Amino acid sequence: MDALARLEKTVTARLNADPGESYVATLAARGAPHIARKLGEEAVETLIAALSGSDNELVGEAADLLFHLTVLLAAKGVPLARVMAELERREGVSGLAEKAARRS
């Protein structure tokens, strides 16, 4: 099992835990809109680290971003496997062609 699969399993197990004992449960208790805003904050911090931070800062922020994305997916009941299947579906397809197909 890879790190993202283990993370998803841990996050899913903690969604309904005591918010006083779990950061995931704290996020989940506040709802998907709160988690989405937190994901947006982490995306901005990742962008800033990419533009002006060290590689270590970028790695840390990217990890935070993936963590919060995993929490949002779990809170919405979307398995990581669906995201991975979508990535696999797109594999080998030009990014330009894939974007054009979404418009039609």
Q: Show me where the domains of the chain are located.
A: 3-79
Rg, Å, the chain Cα set: 16
pLDDT digits (tens, 9 = 90+) for 16-45: 999 999 999 999 999 999 999 999 999 999
CATH architecture of 3-79: Orthogonal Bundle (1.10)
For residue 91, the SS3 value is: coil
Q: How confident is the model at residue 95 (pLDDT cuts 50, 70, 90)?
A: confident
- pTM for this structure? 0.89
Q: Which residues contact 14 (CB under 8 A, 6 or more apart)?
A: 22, 24, 25, 28
